């Protein structure tokens, strides 16, 4: 047994109790209602939280437990980064520099760059090369307090290369400490060989890639980039129908570059989460609320592309559950730091610090259909915890852009200790 004792500040989000939508999540204004304990302790048995309470009480109750003194520090549930593309090959710092000189993301894509540039690097790289390139990114995310990371394929765009990316996720999940949740994103862009045959590529995704990915058990989710210049709502619905037939759940890149009613579609197809939402319409907001779809916002991407942020306040006021994730990827946000993501959410989208913490823990877990196991510090939950070297939780956002994580506990074991 392990006892984290004398915790200066313990913060854990609260799921909304109303109109029971599974999995547990905090909706709208309730995202701001966190539980705060001072001088607390957490008793951990194996990989699970046994008890949470006052430090004096638990120190007495568990006298033989191994102890870690957390005085003057702040404990949160480990961050859940529910949207990343962090397996890839190559480097697009040249495109980043081009954007700083005025080129847009769309212009670079249309000139053969963007996703298709990473695609060329991925097709040339071996599985081992991809694993070794991405391992430090996974380790860095973990050192920044992220204990569960969703990772998408989507830079292969042919069957063999998409499988290679999903295999890389599987290897990293086995070998590295954070939990990796895998998503098949074959419909991320049209590869050049199908530039004049969109229907042909959609057929390849449906008839070859999805069955192969499912047969090998390589993905829990299927995602599609539904946007102007990428996949239409109709194409997306065909792909999702096939994915569901093969036992995958669905999530979607929705209305990032233009409002194409992808948010409403997400509700129709019962997506667990619709992500980005920079251009979401009023109708889209109402439909997502109705369908219980989580709104995953990626403020780092808006920041990096210099675009207007998603309307977080509107979504929260409408009562939606909002999650926060990095979108870590080589093109539109080369950043795996969830602490920085919270700061951008607060400063760029006017979320409160409490809302941003709930969005990055409980609601991120809900966006991965795991909030019955992770995302809160409560008895019965997995002991995935992040300790910050700050006396109170506002400092996590107030002092931004640096890593204030002191210790990460994963599955009940101390894994990062800085």
- Which residues contribute to the site for Fe ion (CB under 5 A)? 327
**Among ligand NIG, Fe ion, none, what binds residue 115 when CB lies within 5 to 8 Å by partner kind?**
ligand NIG
**Among ligand NIG, Fe ion, none, what binds residue 179 when CB lies within 5 to 8 Å by partner kind?**
none
Place of tokens 């998503």: 183
Residues 6+ apart with CB under 8 A from 132: none
Nearer to ligand NIG, 287 or 327 (CB): 327
Nearer to Fe ion, 297 or 377 (CB): 297
User: What distance in Å separates the CA atoms of residue 165 and residue 155, rounded to the nearest whole number?
Assistant: 8
Nearer to ligand NIG, 185 or 293 (CB): 185
**Among ligand NIG, Fe ion, none, what binds residue 256 when CB lies within 5 to 8 Å by partner kind?**
ligand NIG
Nearer to ligand NIG, 24 or 114 (CB): 114
Min separation Cβ 113 and ligand NIG, Å: 9
Min separation Cβ 140 and ligand NIG, Å: 18
SS3 content of the chain, % helix, strand, coil (to 5): 40, 25, 35
**Among Fe ion, ligand NIG, none, what binds residue 117 when CB lies within 5 to 8 Å by partner kind?**
none
Please calculate the CA angle 249-251-252 and round it to the nearest 5 degrees.
150
Contact (Cβ atoms closer than 8 angstroms) between residue 169 and residue 151? yes
- Which residues contribute to the site for ligand NIG (CB under 6 A)? 85, 114-115, 118, 225, 253, 256, 301, 327, 329-332
Half-sphere exposure of 287 (CA within 13 A, CB side): 18
Of 8, 7, 11, which Cα lies nearest the Cα of 353?
11
Using CA atoms, how far residue 68 sits from 52, 145, 271, 313, 410, in Å, is: 15, 18, 41, 39, 15
Please identify the residue of the shown chain whose CB is closest to the bound ligand NIG: 331
Nearer to ligand NIG, 34 or 115 (CB): 115
Min separation Cβ 118 and ligand NIG, Å: 5
Token digits for 245? Answer: 């037939």
Residue 234: helix, strand or coil by DSSP? helix
**Among ligand NIG, Fe ion, none, what binds residue 301 when CB lies within 5 to 8 Å by partner kind?**
ligand NIG
Nearer to ligand NIG, 115 or 166 (CB): 115
């Amino acid at each position: 047994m392990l006892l984290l004792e004398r915790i200066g500040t313990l913060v854990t989000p609260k799921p909304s109790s109303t109109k029971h939508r599974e999995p547990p999540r905090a909706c709208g204004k309730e995202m701001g209602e966190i539980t705060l304990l001072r001088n607390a302790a957490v008793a951990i048995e194996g990989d699970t939280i046994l008890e949470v309470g006052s430090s004096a009480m638990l120190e007495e109750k568990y006298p033989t437990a191994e102890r870690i003194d957390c005085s003057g520090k702040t404990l949160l549930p480990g961050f859940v980064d529910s949207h990343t593309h962090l397996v890839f090959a190559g480097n697009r710092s040249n495109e980043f520099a081009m954007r700083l000189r005025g080129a847009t993301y769309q212009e670079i894509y249309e000139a053969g760059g963007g996703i298709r540039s990473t695609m060329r690097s991925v097709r040339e790289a071996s599985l081992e090369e991809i694993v070794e390139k991405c391992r430090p990114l996974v380790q860095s995310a973990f050192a920044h307090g992220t204990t569960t990371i969703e990772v998408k394929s989507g830079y292969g765009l042919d069957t063999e290369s998409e499988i290679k990316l999903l295999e890389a996720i599987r290897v990293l999940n086995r070998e590295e400490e954070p939990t990796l949740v895998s998503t098949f994103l074959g419909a991320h862009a049209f590869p050049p060989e199908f530039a004049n045959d969109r229907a042909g590529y959609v057929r390849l995704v449906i008839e070859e890639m999805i069955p192969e990915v499912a047969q090998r058990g390589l993905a829990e989710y299927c995602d599609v980039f539904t946007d102007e210049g990428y996949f239409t709502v109709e194409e997306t619905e065909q792909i999702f129908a096939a994915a569901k037939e093969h036992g995958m759940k669905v999530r979607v890149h929705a209305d990032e570059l233009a409002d194409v009613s992808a948010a409403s579609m997400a509700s129709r197809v019962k997506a667990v989460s619709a992500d980005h939402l920079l251009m979401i319409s009023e109708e889209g907001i109402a439909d997502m609320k109705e369908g219980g779809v989580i709104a995953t916002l990626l403020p780092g991407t808006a920041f990096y592309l210099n675009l207007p942020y998603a309307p977080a306040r509107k979504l929260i006021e409408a009562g939606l559950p909002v999650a926060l994730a990095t979108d870590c990827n080589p093109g539109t946000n080369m950043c795996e730091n969830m602490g920085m993501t919270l700061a951008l959410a607060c400063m760029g989208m006017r979320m409160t610090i409490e809302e941003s913490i709930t969005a990055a823990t409980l609601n991120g877990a809900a966006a991965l259909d795991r909030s019955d196991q992770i995302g809160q510090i409560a008895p019965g939950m997995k002991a995935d915890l992040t300790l910050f070297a700050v006396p109170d939780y506002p400092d996590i956002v107030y002092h931004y852009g640096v890593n204030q994580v002191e210790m990460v506990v994963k599955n009940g074991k101390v894994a990062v200790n800085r």
